[in-house]
Structure 1
């Protein structure tokens, strides 16, 4: 069974993370599949909306650290890097349905989505500094712009977790609903978007992101430089070694 499943229906590309034994942690093959899916969606006029989801108890536990550590330099050929830039520049609307754990990239990817719906069991965290790392995916600019500096510092510097209600209050998610109702709500919102004039929706998204797009791309690049340096530092190596021993 594929770790990324895809289905196109009524103009909606539904992408489902499907690696339950690893809590949907993303490996390099999954990043490649996600990037390819977004590239194909961008080129296909019949696809109007992307719906990204995990399972009812886990959206994504973040990077598969063991896989990531052996994946080489974070350059333009790296699958993770390719995904980050593709996500940041994707012109069609993306809806995320988040249940259970949303860790690391499982949270920061949501900052690029246009609508985010969360189950009441959703739990978010960006534990970069506890691992000796720094923010990624443009989160060091997108999060403070969304929630304010102090709250962004709470979650990016301290790496503290937060619940669905907190995510709703700060504006990271649009609505919180029961786990059993989440998939249907996200699907209905995707159908509504898909029923609207595509050119108007995409133009509106472009205008909404016009002032921040260049800054976001520049920030992703700056974060990658720092992330690469920290990844090979003694503190990070010690923290990750301790993580694997737990």
Structure 2
């Protein structure tokens, strides 16, 4: 793994730190595999009551590593798809600390999280159509429920950049803060959740998610099918080739 993903357990919180800052925390196959392992560990470990995902005060994630798309042979499922299915089915609370770029999966994973804090240097973008691709991580089901069709279409198809204050208005995040406040604040929130009666927290979370769970699961299936198909289109291949010069 070369320490591209760091993890630490303290006060019943598993903190997962994205640590590929030279690539703006773009997630590659190895990182997704480690995320799957850590989420499986957290699910099965009774002492872990909450998961915190973070980068640092300047960078969260630039999204998927596009090089993985070029190398995919089409014969096996993307590890990224395995991760988002695991994320959608995860039963424990997830807190996320966002700073700097939150692109693609860097934004859509927030839709499965429970408490998100973003520093005021955050920049959100869903560039699916600009890459010749389609929404992923169940976002085609979740985002229209939050924003309505028109605004969800604007963000996912036009791919307009938006910032922390707008993300707060869109109810994608819970709170804005200064960069230097981000990680301590996120840790405090995660530890506060972890101190609560676990059965009560898990029950509340399950009830809150139950109405939309079937729709999200179906969206994951539909998105994976279309995403894989679009990767093979001439438009997408041309865009990828231009991206890599």
After superposition, give the CA deviation of every residue in 1:156-212 in whole Å (9 maximum; x if it has no partner): 110111000100011000000000001111111111101100000001100000011
Match of 1:157 in 2: 157
Match of 1:46 in 2: 47
Work out whether residues 74 and 224 of structure 1, in 8 Å CA contact, stay in contact via their aligned partners in 2. no
The secondary structure found in structure 1 opposite 2:51 is strand
Match of 1:70 in 2: 71
- Structure 2 length-normalised TM: 0.97
Give me the whole-angstrom Cα distance separating, in 1, the residues matched to 2:231 and 2:75: 10
Could you tell me which runs of 5 or more consecutive residues in structure 1 were left unpaired when the two chains were aligned. Answer: none
Match of 1:114 in 2: 114
Q: 1:74 and 1:186, CA in 2 relative to 1: closer, same or farther beyond 3 A?
A: farther
Match of 1:20 in 2: 21
Give me the whole-angstrom Cα distance separating, in 2, the residues matched to 1:230 and 1:71: 13
The secondary structure found in structure 2 opposite 1:194 is helix
Superposed counterparts of 1:129-144, under 5 Å: 129-144=129-144
Runs of 4+ aligned residues of structure 1 deviating over 4 Å after TM superposition are none
Give me the whole-angstrom Cα distance separating, in 1, the residues matched to 2:140 and 2:75: 18
Residue 186 of structure 2 is aligned to residue 186 of structure 1: yes
Superposed counterparts of 1:214-233, under 5 Å: 214-233=214-233
The secondary structure found in structure 2 opposite 1:201 is helix
Give me the whole-angstrom Cα distance separating, in 2, the residues matched to 1:105 and 1:139: 9
Cα shift at 1:133: 0.5
Work out whether residues 117 and 173 of structure 1, in 8 Å CA contact, stay in contact via their aligned partners in 2. yes
Could you tell me which runs of 5 or more consecutive residues in structure 2 were left unpaired when the two chains were aligned. Answer: none
The secondary structure found in structure 2 opposite 1:58 is coil
User: CA RMSD for the aligned pairs?
Assistant: 1.1
The secondary structure found in structure 1 opposite 2:172 is coil
Cα shift at 1:74: 7.5
The secondary structure found in structure 2 opposite 1:59 is coil
